């Protein structure tokens, strides 16, 4: 029961449990070894949680969440009610946190910066890591998350499992298979950990193959298939009790990925991710930990129109990103202060090409990302102050220097077409800071308030895009190298009541964003893409605002029964009062779960209000309200310290035809879907 | 900072070059006039006056705006002649009839780099039939004569010269593409010439029209932004800017106006990058 593999399972369970319970930011790890100041221990203990601000420590649930490892990473993220997904197909959805998508978020794996190579954002970083390789996910809102970079929306850091040293038994792992009916999908997963006293090696593998799915009502959604595999290797070596050396590698390859909402599919998307980490735990009272990390990764992405019948002209659209980086950080403890200081930096290159092949003519070639080099050097400081048992204060600040330049002369020539000079490097300094205060108001009551200021650099697309077609608004997009740095003043607050049977939490946030970057129609320009509506160019709106909140109630009348309901709402508006695009309407998930011994049964209802606040320039259409019902059940058979888990269910029981507001192209989501997952942990 | 270093470097190099040039006291290097990037079309001697005439071109002679460079030497001493009056007379003999072509005589009686630049707009190709007479008046000895070259004018692909009948009536118009000869993605100088065919033998330059351009990719149907319409410079030349956003086949559509009157609106030149 307490084997390391189960520990892994447990940690994931706890994370997912927390993601379901939580409405807000979460800092949640298992076995936080940093707290054991004087020794390094790779011991998996019950989850610990330490946070200040927009987060709270959830009640630990003993639910069997092993089925979550068959989900995709983005689906797990979306269990957090602050996170929605932009869906373009049945694969690799783009996370949106509080109405802010990947351009405004730091999406990292073990703190490593990775950039998708698709100009259409078909490959968010979440698509390159699988849940059976995840230990925890760290979601921090706004500038509170600036440890991982300057951003407006916050940080989503996915922490991988890593190998486990000095486990109870040398070999441990999990093998599992899952099937689902809507897309005739098959999942297979395998984890193995080999553990010795001073070193360990862990491997993880996942294979998925899904066909075109059946939407509610019975229509087959063409071009929604995909196939992928993901392999991860982690090796750890502990030369002394105070040093850990860790090497991680993730390989991810997806093939024949259909994107029904786009005019093209993806032939392949490949990522290779490498990280080398050294951690030192000095035997000094005031230094808890020193960590140095180097990493490198490459992503290759190739779009494919050969499976489509309505192609006017064949085109190739490959994209590449390569990123190198590293950080050096230390955690210091001085009386009431727990400080983190960090120096980090990365260099990334992004290049994307488009070649069209007209009949009997020369190929037409252009750079949609003109070989853009980006250098980012940052310094970060955080201080968590425990004033006393009731009051905690947290402060963080970050400074970044960002320099971008176009390295391909063709890119410079292309930009000259728009009278833009991109020959010289574009340099910016970014400032981020936030302060949080958390207090215990009385028995079971806690409250927190956060204020922050954030800045972010424009994305490669916002600065350098060259006729990148966006299938949502139907416009070709062009960057502007001189687009102004986006800034935001942020405030959030929350209150939580926790009694024996009831947990209630409510949070609210308000972001006032200055120089909000949004593309605007430039009617003087001619669209390049055949059939496109026109050309949009990146511009700064004077300001925009995002506001929203979450309310979650959990009621456990008796030990075996839990009712839970979570609602989230976000409102976004430009200074002119126009709605910001792609804002999720009010969304609610209500569930009831009954657990008896090794069995559990749950029913959940997921619903959303209609979204009529649409941005016409963005080509948005209103989305109708929907509600779907899911039934789930689980059971496990213990075999000594091993366990066979069975999970199954029926999603969208009523076969409702629906789509969420963030789904592109009006493509309906899957209809009734039966699934069964079997896994064996040892 | 980078730029200023570059400027400094170029400046120093120039100063060095000038100083060197002065020191060595060598007014004419061995390869003067420099014809390294030119093709010899032919060598002929004037009928009278004892002048050797070498005709150089920038490449194959084709039915388009063609720059020539005339090298003159005293046929007795082989001395380079750099002060002379040079006049061209292109002629196409089609058997039944003859016609000339638009041309540009050298603008000066002084050679440029030892050569006399001039140009002919060959409005049609022909393996046979084209001749170019070069009339030379050597100012050094006041001798005068004419040399004759027989030319083979190839058919360029795509078309670079067209003779059109104006929509508003009037004399036929010769429209010829000058540049870009090596188009690149981004901004290119765009230049055409306009001549009117007043008679079979007279093709005066047209200096008072306005020209607008609209580039497009025919297979895509889109254009490009920030083009600058060509405006008249001299001797029938109109110069502007054309933008290409990507490689491939581009068509530059022309609209030629005389004041408010449309002269010709359906001419175009194709360019492949």
Average pLDDT of the residues of chain A: 86
**Segment A417-444 mean pLDDT:** 92
DSSP symbols for A312-362: SSEEEEEEEEEEEEEEEEEEEEETTEEEEEEEEEEEEEEEEEEEEE-TTS-
Banded pLDDT at A20 (limits 50, 70, 90): very low
> B-contacting residues of A 526-585, CB under 8 Å?
526-530
DSSP symbols for B183-237: --SEEEEEEEEEEE-SBTTB--B--S-EEEEEEEETTTTEE-S--EEEEE-STTE
Residues, chain B: 273
Q: Say yes or no to pLDDT of A169 above 70.
A: yes
For chain B, say whether A427 makes contact (Cβ under 8 Å). no
Structure confidence at residue B28 (pLDDT): 62
Q: Say yes or no to pLDDT of A6 above 90.
A: no
* Nearest in space to B54 (alpha carbons), one of B67, B68, B44: B44
A89 in Cβ contact with A264 (< 8 Å): no
The range of the structural domain enclosing residue A333 comes to: 4-681
Banded pLDDT at A67 (limits 50, 70, 90): low
Structure confidence at residue A167 (pLDDT): 80
Structure confidence at residue A573 (pLDDT): 96
Banded pLDDT at A369 (limits 50, 70, 90): very high
A543 in Cβ contact with A575 (< 8 Å): yes
Q: Say yes or no to pLDDT of A32 above 60.
A: no
B257 in Cβ contact with B230 (< 8 Å): no
Structure confidence at residue A118 (pLDDT): 92
The H or E element that residue A108 is part of is strand A105-109
Digit-coded pLDDT (tens) for B9-58: 444 444 444 444 444 445 566 788 999 999 999 999 999 999 999 999 99
Residue identified by tokens 């160019």 is A537
Residues, chain A: 682
Share of chain B above pLDDT 70, in %: 89
| E strand intervals along A121-242 | 134-141, 154-160, 171-180, 185-195, 199-210, 226-237
Q: For residues A328 and A432, what is the distance between their CA atoms, to the nearest angstrom?
A: 19
Residue identified by tokens 């221990």 is A41
Digit-coded pLDDT (tens) for A573-594: 999 999 999 999 999 999 999 9
Side-chain half-sphere exposure of A520, counting CA atoms within 13 A: 10
CA distances from B28 to B20, B73, B257 (A): 14, 15, 48
**Segment B149-166 mean pLDDT:** 94
Banded pLDDT at B219 (limits 50, 70, 90): confident
Banded pLDDT at A282 (limits 50, 70, 90): confident
**Cβ of B224 and A526 within 8 Å?**
yes
Q: Say yes or no to pLDDT of A14 above 80.
A: no
**Cβ of A361 and B272 within 8 Å?**
yes
Q: For residues A226 and A211, what is the distance between their CA atoms, to the nearest angstrom?
A: 7
Q: Say yes or no to pLDDT of A7 above 50.
A: no
Taking one residue from A and the other from B, the number of pairs with CB-CB distance under 8 angstroms is 80
A199 in Cβ contact with A173 (< 8 Å): no
* Nearest in space to B82 (alpha carbons), one of B36, B35, B42, B33: B33
Residues of B in contact with A354 (CB under 8 A): 246
Q: For residues B157 and B151, what is the distance between their CA atoms, to the nearest angstrom?
A: 19
Structure confidence at residue A145 (pLDDT): 84
- CB burial class (10 A; 0-12, 13-18, 19+) of residue B15? exposed
Which chain B residue has its CA at the smallest distance from A413's CA? B186
Question: Which of B182, B226, B245 should one mutate to test binding to chain A, selecting the residue with the greatest count of A CBs within 10 A?
Answer: B245
Structure confidence at residue A66 (pLDDT): 58
Structure confidence at residue B189 (pLDDT): 96
Residues of B in contact with A533 (CB under 8 A): none
Structure confidence at residue A526 (pLDDT): 84
Digit-coded pLDDT (tens) for A175-222: 999 999 999 999 999 999 999 988 999 999 999 999 999 999 999 999
Q: For residues A447 and A507, what is the distance between their CA atoms, to the nearest angstrom?
A: 9
Residues of B in contact with A528 (CB under 8 A): 220, 222, 245-246
Share of chain A above pLDDT 70, in %: 90
**Cβ of B222 and A366 within 8 Å?**
no
For chain B, say whether A467 makes contact (Cβ under 8 Å). yes
A366 in Cβ contact with A354 (< 8 Å): yes
Buried/exposed code over A403-422 (b: 16+ C-beta within 10 A; e: otherwise):
ebbbeeebbbbbbbbbebeb
Digit-coded pLDDT (tens) for B117-129: 999 999 999 998 9
Instruction: Return the structure tokens found at B236.
Output: 């029938």
Q: Which residue has the higher pLDDT, A487 or A92?
A: A487
Q: Say yes or no to pLDDT of A41 above 50.
A: no
Query: What pairs with residue A488 in β-bridges?
Result: A454, A513
**Cβ of B248 and A467 within 8 Å?**
no
Residues of A in contact with B217 (CB under 8 A): 364
Q: Say yes or no to pLDDT of A62 above 70.
A: no
B166 in Cβ contact with B172 (< 8 Å): yes
* Nearest in space to A292 (alpha carbons), one of A156, A28, A111, A36: A111
Residues of A in contact with B221 (CB under 8 A): 530
CATH code for the domain of A363: 2.40.170.20
Q: How far is the alpha carbon of B223 from chain A, nearest alpha carbon, in Å?
A: 6
Digit-coded pLDDT (tens) for A656-667: 999 999 999 889
Structural domains of chain B sorted by starting position, each given as residue range(s) with its CATH number in brackets: 39-153 (2.60.40.1940), 161-272 (2.60.40.10)
Q: For residues A17 and A154, what is the distance between their CA atoms, to the nearest angstrom?
A: 21
Chain centre to alpha carbon of residue A322: 20
For chain B, say whether A1 makes contact (Cβ under 8 Å). no
Instruction: Return the structure tokens found at A24.
Output: 């807000």
**Cβ of B185 and A413 within 8 Å?**
yes
Q: For residues A119 and A137, what is the distance between their CA atoms, to the nearest angstrom?
A: 26
Q: Say yes or no to pLDDT of A65 above 60.
A: no
**Cβ of A417 and B249 within 8 Å?**
no
**Beta strand pairing call for A475-478 and A534-555:** parallel
* Nearest in space to B246 (alpha carbons), one of A461, A533, A363: A363
**Cβ of B247 and A467 within 8 Å?**
no
Residues of B in contact with A361 (CB under 8 A): 219, 248-249, 272
- CB burial class (10 A; 0-12, 13-18, 19+) of residue A597? exposed
Instruction: Return the structure tokens found at A228.
Output: 């992928």
* Nearest in space to A374 (alpha carbons), one of A321, A420, A297: A321
**Beta strand pairing call for A587-596 and A502-521:** unpaired
Banded pLDDT at A241 (limits 50, 70, 90): confident
| E strand intervals along chain B | 39-45, 51-57, 65-74, 84-93, 98-99, 103-104, 116-121, 126-138, 143-153, 161-164, 173-179, 186-196, 210-217, 222-223, 228-232, 237-244, 249-258, 261-272
**Cβ of A362 and B247 within 8 Å?**
yes
Q: What is the count of structural domains for chain A? A: 1
- CB burial class (10 A; 0-12, 13-18, 19+) of residue B211? buried
Q: For residues A206 and A181, what is the distance between their CA atoms, to the nearest angstrom?
A: 19
**Segment A23-47 mean pLDDT:** 25
Instruction: Return the structure tokens found at A605.
Output: 């209802």
Chain centre to alpha carbon of residue A445: 30
Buried/exposed code over B104-137 (b: 16+ C-beta within 10 A; e: otherwise):
bbbeeeebeebbbbbbbbbbebbeebbebebbbb
């Amino acid at each position: 029961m307490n084997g390391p593999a189960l520990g892994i399972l447990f940690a994931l369970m706890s994370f997912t449990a927390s993601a379901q319970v939580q409405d807000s930011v979460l800092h949640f790890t298992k076995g936080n070894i940093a707290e054991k100041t004087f020794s390094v221990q790779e011991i998996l203990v019950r989850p610990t949680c330490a946070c200040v601000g927009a987060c709270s420590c959830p009640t630990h649930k003993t639910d069997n969440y092993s089925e979550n490892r068959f989900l995709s990473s983005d689906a797990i993220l979306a269990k957090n009610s602050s996170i929605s997904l932009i869906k373009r197909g049945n694969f690799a959805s783009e996370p949106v946190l509080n109405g802010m998508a990947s351009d405004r978020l730091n999406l990292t794996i073990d703190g490593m910066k990775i950039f998708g190579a698709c100009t259409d954002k078909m490959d968010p970083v979440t698509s390159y890591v699988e849940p059976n390789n995840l230990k925890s996910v760290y979601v921090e809102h706004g500038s509170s998350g600036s440890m991982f970079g300057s951003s407006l929306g916050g940080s989503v850091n996915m922490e991988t499992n890593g190998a486990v040293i000095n486990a109870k038994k040398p070999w441990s792992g999990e093998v599992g298979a899952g099937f689902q009916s809507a897309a005739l999908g098959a999942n297979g997963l395998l984890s193995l950990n080999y553990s010795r006293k001073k070193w360990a090696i862990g491997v993880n593998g996942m294979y998925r193959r899904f066909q075109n799915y059946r939407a509610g009502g019975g229509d087959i959604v063409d071009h929604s298939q995909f196939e992928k595999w993901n392999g991860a290797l982690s090796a750890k070596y502990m030369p002394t009790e105070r040093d850990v050396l860790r090497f991680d590698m993730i390989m991810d390859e997806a093939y024949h990925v259909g994107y029904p909402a786009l005019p093209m599919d993806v032939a392949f998307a490949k990522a290779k991710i490498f990280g080398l980490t050294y951690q030192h735990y000095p035997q000094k009272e005031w230094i808890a930990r020193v960590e140095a990390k180097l990493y490198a990764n490459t992503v290759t992405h190739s779009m494919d129109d050969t499976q489509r019948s309505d192609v006017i002209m064949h085109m190739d659209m490959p994209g590449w990103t390569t990123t190198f980086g590293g950080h050096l950080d230390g955690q210091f403890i001085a009386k009431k202060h727990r400080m983190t200081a960090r120096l980090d930096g990365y260099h990334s290159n992004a290049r994307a090409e488009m070649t069209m092949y007209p009949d009997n003519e020369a190929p037409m070639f252009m750079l949609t990302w003109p070989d853009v080099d980006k250098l980012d050097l940052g310094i970060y400081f955080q201080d968590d102050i425990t004033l006393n048992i009731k009051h905690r204060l947290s402060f963080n600040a970050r400074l970044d220097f960002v320099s971008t330049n176009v390295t391909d002369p063709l890119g410079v020539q292309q930009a000259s077409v728009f009278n833009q000079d991109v020959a010289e490097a574009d340099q910016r300094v970014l400032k981020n800071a936030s302060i949080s205060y958390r207090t215990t108001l009385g028995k079971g009551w806690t409250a927190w308030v956060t204020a922050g200021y954030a800045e972010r650099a424009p994305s490669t697309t916002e600065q350098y895009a060259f006729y990148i077609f966006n299938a949502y608004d139907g416009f070709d997009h062009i960057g502007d190298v001189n687009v102004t740095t986006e800034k935001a003043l942020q405030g959030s607050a929350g209150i939580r009541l926790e009694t024996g049977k009831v947990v209630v939490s409510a949070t609210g946030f308000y972001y006032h964003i200055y120089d909000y970057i949004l593309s605007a129609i430039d009617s003087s320009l001619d669209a390049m893409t055949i059939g496109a509506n026109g050309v949009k160019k990146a511009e700064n709106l004077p300001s925009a605002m995002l506001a929203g909140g979450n309310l979650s109630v959990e009621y456990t009348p008796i030990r075996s029964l839990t009712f839970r309901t979570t609602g989230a709402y976000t409102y976004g508006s430009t200074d002119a009062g126009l709605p910001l695009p792609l804002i999720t309407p009010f969304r609610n998930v209500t569930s009831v779960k009954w657990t008896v011994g090794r069995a559990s049964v749950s029913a959940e209802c997921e619903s959303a209000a209609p979204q009529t606040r649409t941005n016409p320039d963005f080509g948005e259409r209103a989305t109708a309200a929907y509600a779907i019902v899911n039934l789930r059940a689980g059971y496990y058979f213990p075999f000594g310290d091993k366990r066979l888990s069975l999970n199954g269910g029926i999603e969208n029981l009523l076969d409702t035809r629906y789509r969420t507001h963030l789904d592109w192209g009006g493509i309906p989501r899957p209809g009734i879907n039966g699934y069964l997952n079997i896994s064996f942990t040892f | 900072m980078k730029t200023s270093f570059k400027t400094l470097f170029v400046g120093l190099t120039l100063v060095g070059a000038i100083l060197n040039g002065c020191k060595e006291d060598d007014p004419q290097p061995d390869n003067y006039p420099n014809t390294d990037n030119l093709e010899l079309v032919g060598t002929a001697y004037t009928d009278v006056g004892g002048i050797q005439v070498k005709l150089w071109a920038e490449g194959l002679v084709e039915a388009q705006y063609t720059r020539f460079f005339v090298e003159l030497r005293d046929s007795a001493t082989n001395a380079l002649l750099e002060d002379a009056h040079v006049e061209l007379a292109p002629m196409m003999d089609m058997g039944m009839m003859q016609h000339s072509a638009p041309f540009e005589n050298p603008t000066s009686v002084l050679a440029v780099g030892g050569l006399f630049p001039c140009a002919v707009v060959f409005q049609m190709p022909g393996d046979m039939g084209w001749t170019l007479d070069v009339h030379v008046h050597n100012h050094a000895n006041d001798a005068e004569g004419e040399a004759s070259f027989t030319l083979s004018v190839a058919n360029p692909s795509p078309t670079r010269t067209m003779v059109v009948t104006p929509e508003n009536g009037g004399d036929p118009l010769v429209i010829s593409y000058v540049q870009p000869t090596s188009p690149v993605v981004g901004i290119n100088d765009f230049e055409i010439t306009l001549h009117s065919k007043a008679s079979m033998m007279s093709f005066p330059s047209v200096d008072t029209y306005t020209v607008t351009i609209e580039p497009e990719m025919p297979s895509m149907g889109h254009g490009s932004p920030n083009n600058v319409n060509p405006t008249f410079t001299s001797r029938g030349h109109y110069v502007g800017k054309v933008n290409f956003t990507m490689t491939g086949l581009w068509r530059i559509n022309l609209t030629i106006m005389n004041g408010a009157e449309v002269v010709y609106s359906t001419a175009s030149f194709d360019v492949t990058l």
